[in-house]
Amino acid sequence: MPILYDDPISGNGYKVRLLLAQLDFSYELVELDILNQETHTPDFLAKNANGKIPTIELDDGRCLSESNAILFYFAQGSRYWPGEKFDQADVMRWMCFEQYSHEPYVAVARFLHHLPEAPDPEVIAEKHAKGYVALDVMEQHLGENDFFAAGQYSIADIALYAYTHVAEEGKFDLTSYSNISKWLDRVSEQPGFVPMGSKPN
């Protein structure tokens, strides 16, 4: 059975847990404490030299890291990965957007607020400024589309849901983002949806 290395605080890890739950896929969960440097032991670095979760160890011993690559690996051939070439590229487009324009601001602001020491206000202001730009892009797109790509719920939605639904923990105010709020509800109504922090069956 594949082994998922993860920390329950991680939205990147939650993406993988959510997809595997929706696929009804069995896996073993090993929780590591990233704040305690548990992803920097020699054993873990042999699985992912970048020292980050989520990382999944497959039955044949190969390891795969990077949340969106793991989503792609498991989604192929399922309802969460569209069949048409443009649609597939559009899913990738939103997953790249998530990693470059969203996660470094929306997720990192949340992470900084989870640390024991108070975050630097200047750093938070920069994360908020850039994070709101990403949220504006999402809000506009969701004004005309129920989901991010291919006219259907896909791993693009999973990738973007993970940190958007907890953006308020990073002190983002989503009250004026009505399209995002409705989309968050649509995602949480998908079959097999599980909340953040849920464990495998």
Instruction: Give dist(CA 184, CA 42) in Å, integer.
Output: 39
Using CB under 6 A, list all residues that contact ligand GSH.
10, 12, 34, 39, 51-54, 66-68, 99
Nearest to 68 by CA among 163, 138, 156: 156
Smallest gap from Cβ 115 to ligand GSH, in A, equals 12
Nearer to ligand GSH, 34 or 137 (CB): 34
Least distance CB 170 / ligand GSH (angstroms): 13
How near is the Cβ of 7 to ligand GSH at its closest, in Å?
A: 6
Cβ pair 153, 190 in contact under 8 A:
yes
Smaller CB separation from ligand GSH, 67 or 164: 67
Rounded Cα–Cα distance for residues 176 and 92 (Å): 27
Tell the smallest beta-carbon distance from residue 104 to ligand GSH (Å): 9
φ, ψ of residue 5 in degrees (nearest 5): -95, 125
Q: Is 109 exposed, middle or buried (0-12, 13-18, 19+ CB in 10 A)?
A: buried
CB of 104 or CB of 200, closer to ligand GSH: 104
Strand partners, 56: 4, 64
Q: Cβ 67 to ligand GSH, closest distance in Å? A: 4
Distance CA 157, CA 199 (A): 20
Cβ closest to ligand GSH, residue 58 vs residue 151: 58
User: By C-beta, is 99 or 181 nearer to ligand GSH?
Assistant: 99
